[in-house]
Amino acid sequence: MEPTEKDDLHPVAMFFEFLQRTMVHHSMWYAEVRDRMGMEKASEILDNAWKNSLAIQMKRYAKIFDLELENGMPKNWTQLSEEKQKNLKEAAALNWLATDGVWFQAVEFAEGMTLAKACNDAAWEKFSPYEALRIKRLLNLPEFPGIAGLKTAMEYRLYGTINKQSFANETETSIDFFMNECRVQLARKSKGLDDYPCKSAGIIEYTTFAQTIDARIRTKVIHCPPDNHPPHYFCGWHFYLPY
C-alpha cells in the first residue's frame, strides 16, 4: 500500500474526494431502489431525490463562492454566452465519455480485455435504458411516442452532444440511424488502431434505449464494428415498428 501524500489530504483534494463518495453513494441508492422496485419506479424516485439534492447542494456551495442563484442555478452561468453554455454542456458529456473510458481501461489493465468488454456490455445494459427514461421524462414523451419520439430522444443522449450522427429513410414506422463520427473510434483511428469491436455493447445499448422510449420498437444492426462499414459512418441501426 502506497503512503498517503500530503496533497491527497488537502481540504480542496478532500472536497473532490467527498464529491466522488457522494456520487458513488447516490448511485448505490439508485441501484438498490431499482433492484427492489424496478427501473420505472426508481427513475421516478430518482427524479425527486435529485431535484432535492441539487437544490441543497447548490445553496450550500453558493454561500461559499458568493454565487447568486436563479432558478436554482448560478446566475452568472445562465448568463454566459450561448457558445459558452454549449461548451459547458459538451464538457460534461465529454467527461462522461472519458470516465467511461477510464473505467474500461482500469478493468482491462487489471484483468484483461475479455472481462473489460463483459463489464462494459453489462454497464450499458443498465445505463442505456436509464438514460432513455431520463430523456423521456425531460421531454415529457407519451408512453408510445413512436419513431418520431425515438428520433427526438436520440438527439438528447450524451452521445448526441459529442458525436456526429444522422438519420435517413424516415417513415412513420421506421428510421435508420448512423453514427457518422464516433470520438472513441476516431481516437483509435488517429493512433493507427483497428475499430473497437463494439457490436455486442451496441446491440444492448440501442435495443434497450429504443424499447425504453417505446416498448413496441425493434432494432436491427445495419453495420457495427467489427463489421466492415462505409467510410461515412462507423455504425448504423434500423429501428422499426413491427406492423
Query: Which pLDDT band, with edges at 50, 70 and 90, does 7 fall under?
Result: confident
Is 226 part of any domain? Answer: yes
Q: Judge whether residue 1 has pLDDT over 60.
A: no
Residue 133 corresponds to which cell in the numbers above? Answer: 427514461
**Residue 41 shares a structural domain with residue 129:** no
CATH number, domain containing residue 227: 3.30.1380
**Which of 56, 79, 102 finishes a domain?**
79
Whether the per-residue pLDDT at 142 is higher than 90: the answer is yes
pLDDT tens-digit map of 11-49 = 999 999 999 999 999 999 999 999 999 999 999 999 999
Q: Do the Cβ atoms of 109 and 117 come closer than 8 Å?
A: no
Q: What element of type H or E holds 175? A: strand 174-181
Cα–Cα distance for residue pair 236/229, rounded to 1 Å:
9
Is the pLDDT confidence value at 156 over 70? Answer: yes
3-state SS class at 69: strand
**pLDDT value at 137 more than 60:** yes
pLDDT in the model for residue 8: 80
Same domain as 199, residue 89: yes
Indicate the helix (H) or strand (E) that contains 219. Answer: strand 218-223
Neighbours of 235 (CB within 10 A): 24
Q: Work out how many domains the chain is built from and give that number.
A: 2
Question: Does a structural domain hold residue 4?
Answer: no
Q: Do 34 and 149 lie in a common domain?
A: no
Of 79, 106, 137, the last residue of a domain is 79
Residue 216 per-residue DSSP state: T
pLDDT at position 240 is: 98
- Whole-number Å distance between alpha carbons of 56 and 50: 10
In a domain, 2, yes or no: no
Cis preceding linkage at 3, omega within 30: no
- Pick left, alpha or beta for residue 236 (phi over 0 → left; psi -120 to 50 → alpha; otherwise beta): beta
| For range 212-234, the mean pLDDT | 96
Arithmetic mean of pLDDT over the chain: 94
Q: Could you list the residue range(s) of the whole structural domain that residue 232 is in?
A: 81-243
Residues 51 and 157 in one domain: no
Using one digit for the tens of pLDDT, what is the confidence trace for 67-107?
A: 999 999 999 999 999 999 999 999 999 999 999 999 999 99
Domain shared by 128 and 208, yes or no: yes
For residue 204, what pLDDT band results from cuts at 50, 70 and 90? Answer: very high
Return d(Cα 34, Cα 43) in angstroms, integer: 8
C-alpha cell at 151: 428520433
Average pLDDT over every residue of 206-210: 98
Instruction: Tell me which amino acid residue 20 is.
Output: Q
Q: What's the rounded Cα separation, in Å, for the pair 100 and 152?
A: 24
Q: Confidence band (pLDDT; 50, 70, 90) for 9? A: confident
Residue for cell digits 438519420? 167
Residue 1 lies in a domain: no
Residues 6+ apart with CB under 8 A from 4: none
pTM recorded for the entire structure: 0.91
Q: What is the pLDDT of residue 4?
A: 62
